[in-house]
Amino acid sequence: MNRVELIKVTRKHTLKQALELLDQSSMSILLYVDENGALQRTITDGDIRRLLLSGRELDETLEHLKASDSVVGRQGASDEEILALMDRHTVNQVPVVDNNNKPVDIYLRHELAPRIQLSIPHMGDHERQYVEEAFQTNWIAPLGPNVDAFEKELAAYVGARHAAALNSGTAAIHLALKLLDTGPGDIVLCSSFTFVASANPILYQGATPVFIDSEPNTWNMSPDALEKALQEYCKGSRKPKAIMVVHLYGQSADMDSIMALSEAYGVPVIEDAAESMGAMYKGRHTGTFGKLGVFSFNGNKIITTSGGGMLISEDGELIERARFLSTQARDPSPHYEHSEIGYNYRMSNVLAGIGRGQLKVLDDRVESRRAIFDRYCQQLSGYDCIDWMPQPEGDYSNRWLTALSLNPAKTKITPTQMIKALAEANIEARHLWKPMHRQPLFKGSEYFSHGQKSYCDYLFDTGLCLPSASNMTIDQQRSVIDNIRHILNKKRNKPEINRQTLIDV
């Protein structure tokens, strides 16, 4: 039986049967046809709920349904026309009827349009040329001219003196901790509001993470909470080995305050700038304030090498040692001689070629992501329940992902509901990072909150991020915006969009 037959109902069907059909078919509409098989209207579970609320019983039939307008396409309409119809009416399923108004098919959005993803790679014009050169010269190895050039070009771009190209941001974080001599029993103060890759390497080293809350101005590490932790740990014999500060979603942390605390207490800073390549704090690139800085070129990042990372520092000896450790710690000797543990963490020459091409378009990518953020803010400015991730005066976020929080005092809709409703429209949205102190992996870890209430818990409970890829089309952005409006309007019980009957497309 084709899927149209599966969801056809007549006036003889009971409300219970209609609900069962909706449940079994995984469609969100039923097709209500007359005795000749002509489509009269579509029915959603909301229509049935309203009948029940008006006093009808489950074993009564659908004959009590009132006539209603429905969004319908004509047989022969193109996919583009049906998609435009879906966009215009913010629906994800459209039945198609023949000349006698008999339903012949049902179109589903996810079958017509690619999923709108959170963040996908966006290649420029030069990556292929550098990769081609690697092939022509047979530099298909770790190390090679692209690696050297990528390190120099990236260092020059961010204004750092030295850089080591590695095979992931996580590897760069791990080496940063090694270089600061972090070992078993040592304390590392780490942003709680982050992806787990900021904290996992602390465990690789057998050290103990102590998590620090976020603050409202930047959503990143709270200097107040950091100071409480430094006071607590520096008074005894457990002075922390490092501060791991993360610049989440492309927004810098408050680096003046954090660096002042680092200096006052003599604890070095590692900046996890994995998500903030191209972002600035008071005119200076994130990643360049601490003793060591880390970038990631994972596939979802603002520029990518498919996988890769970079460790930067002003200290050439540290970066030289990072290169040594990342190539199996081979001692200078005519044979293979090893006196300490090493790693296979170096970036390949092929991937560094992609990185060189990507670096050339980084400014454009930042501009595009910022423009997407601005468009979301502007087009959804009528919804005071949305608090956008802030960007303090003087900062320049790369807006890697548009992040927002839904104020629970102003809307009943939760991030989970919003994410689910967007997924039904074939749009990927995600919860904000779940704080590390709430992860089972770090159960029992110490945590210092910004105020009486933990701020990053609030962000996780209320926040989500929206599709932000720099190659998103305007139509895709419009679709995200229309769907968010639709979801929030529904919750406000505003009248739904006026639908036309049998729209000819």
Ligand X SMILES: Cc1ncc(COP(=O)(O)O)c(C=O)c1O
State the pairing for strand pair 73-74/447-448: unpaired
* 107 vs 249, beta carbon nearer ligand X: 249
Query: Taken in order 453, 406, 29, 65, is the CA torsion positive or negative?
Result: positive
Choose the binding region for ligand X from 18-26, 110-118, 193-201, 384-392 (rule: CB under 6 A): 193-201
Torsion of CA 130, 133, 134, 136, to 10 degrees: 160
x/- letters, 228..247, toward ligand X (CB under 6 A) = ------------------x-
- Choosing from 42, 70, 90, 170, the residue that interacts with ligand X (CB under 6 A) is 170
* 265 vs 433, beta carbon nearer ligand X: 433
Residue 94 contacts ligand X per CB under 6 A: no
Could you tell me the smallest distance in angstroms from the CB atom of residue 70 to ligand X? 44
Q: Which two tokens stand for residue 22?
A: 């909706």
Neighbours of 328 (CB within 10 A): 14
Taking the C-alpha atoms of residue 501 and residue 453, their distance in angstroms, rounded to an integer, is: 52
The residues pairing with 42 across neighbouring beta strands, listed in sequence order, are: 31
3-state secondary structure of 205: coil
Choose the binding region for ligand X from 181-189, 272-280, 404-412, 459-467 (rule: CB under 6 A): 272-280
Taking the C-alpha atoms of residue 412 and residue 238, their distance in angstroms, rounded to an integer, is: 45
- Choosing from 92, 220, 262, 296, the residue that interacts with ligand X (CB under 6 A) is 296
C-alpha radius of gyration, the chain, whole number: 28
* 27 vs 459, beta carbon nearer ligand X: 459
Taking the C-alpha atoms of residue 484 and residue 478, their distance in angstroms, rounded to an integer, is: 10
Choose the binding region for ligand X from 72-80, 107-115, 189-197, 416-424 (rule: CB under 6 A): 189-197
* 194 vs 468, beta carbon nearer ligand X: 194
**Contact predicate 6/31, CB 8 Å:** no
Choose the binding region for ligand X from 162-170, 335-343, 363-371, 372-380 (rule: CB under 6 A): 162-170
Q: For ligand X, how many residues bind (rule: CB under 6 A)?
A: 14
Ranked by CB distance to ligand X, the top (closest) residue is 169
* 30 vs 190, beta carbon nearer ligand X: 190
Q: Which two tokens stand for residue 460?
A: 């996780």
- Choosing from 194, 222, 251, 288, the residue that interacts with ligand X (CB under 6 A) is 194
Q: Which two tokens stand for residue 193?
A: 């509001």
**Contact predicate 134/144, CB 8 Å:** yes
Choose the binding region for ligand X from 51-59, 164-172, 226-234, 357-365 (rule: CB under 6 A): 164-172
Residue 272 contacts ligand X per CB under 6 A: yes
* 150 vs 233, beta carbon nearer ligand X: 150
How many DSSP H helices and E strands does the chain contain? 17, 21
Exposed, middle or buried: residue 302 (CB in 10 Å: 0-12, 13-18, 19+)? Answer: buried
The residues pairing with 193 across neighbouring beta strands, listed in sequence order, are: none
Name residues whose C-beta falls within 8 Å of residue 332's C-beta, 6 or more positions apart in sequence: none
Residue 309 contacts ligand X per CB under 6 A: yes
Q: Which two tokens stand for residue 149?
A: 């050039």
- Where residue 236 falls (left for φ over 0; alpha for ψ -120 to 50; beta otherwise) is beta
Residue 276 contacts ligand X per CB under 6 A: no
- Choosing from 119, 198, 208, 349, the residue that interacts with ligand X (CB under 6 A) is 198
Could you tell me the smallest distance in angstroms from the CB atom of residue 158 to ligand X? 17
Taking the C-alpha atoms of residue 4 and residue 95, their distance in angstroms, rounded to an integer, is: 8
* 4 vs 246, beta carbon nearer ligand X: 246
Taking the C-alpha atoms of residue 168 and residue 328, their distance in angstroms, rounded to an integer, is: 16
* 155 vs 274, beta carbon nearer ligand X: 274
Choose the binding region for ligand X from 78-86, 195-203, 334-342, 409-417 (rule: CB under 6 A): 195-203
3-state secondary structure of 396: strand
Could you tell me the smallest distance in angstroms from the CB atom of residue 171 to ligand X? 7
Q: Which two tokens stand for residue 243?
A: 């501060």
Taking the C-alpha atoms of residue 396 and residue 482, their distance in angstroms, rounded to an integer, is: 28
- Choosing from 163, 207, 274, 472, the residue that interacts with ligand X (CB under 6 A) is 274
- Choosing from 92, 168, 348, 358, the residue that interacts with ligand X (CB under 6 A) is 168
Could you tell me the smallest distance in angstroms from the CB atom of residue 241 to ligand X? 19
Could you tell me the smallest distance in angstroms from the CB atom of residue 366 to ligand X? 17
- Choosing from 182, 286, 288, 298, the residue that interacts with ligand X (CB under 6 A) is 298
Residue 275 contacts ligand X per CB under 6 A: yes
Q: Which two tokens stand for residue 484?
A: 């968010």
**Contact predicate 59/15, CB 8 Å:** yes
Residue 195 contacts ligand X per CB under 6 A: yes
Residues 245-264 that bind ligand X (CB under 6 A): 246
**Contact predicate 290/271, CB 8 Å:** yes
Could you tell me the smallest distance in angstroms from the CB atom of residue 280 to ligand X? 18
Residue 103 contacts ligand X per CB under 6 A: no
Taking the C-alpha atoms of residue 155 and residue 108, their distance in angstroms, rounded to an integer, is: 48
Residue 227 contacts ligand X per CB under 6 A: no
Could you tell me the smallest distance in angstroms from the CB atom of residue 309 to ligand X? 5
* 74 vs 430, beta carbon nearer ligand X: 430
- Positions touching ligand X (CB under 6 A) are 168-170, 194-195, 197-198, 246, 272, 274-275, 296, 298, 309
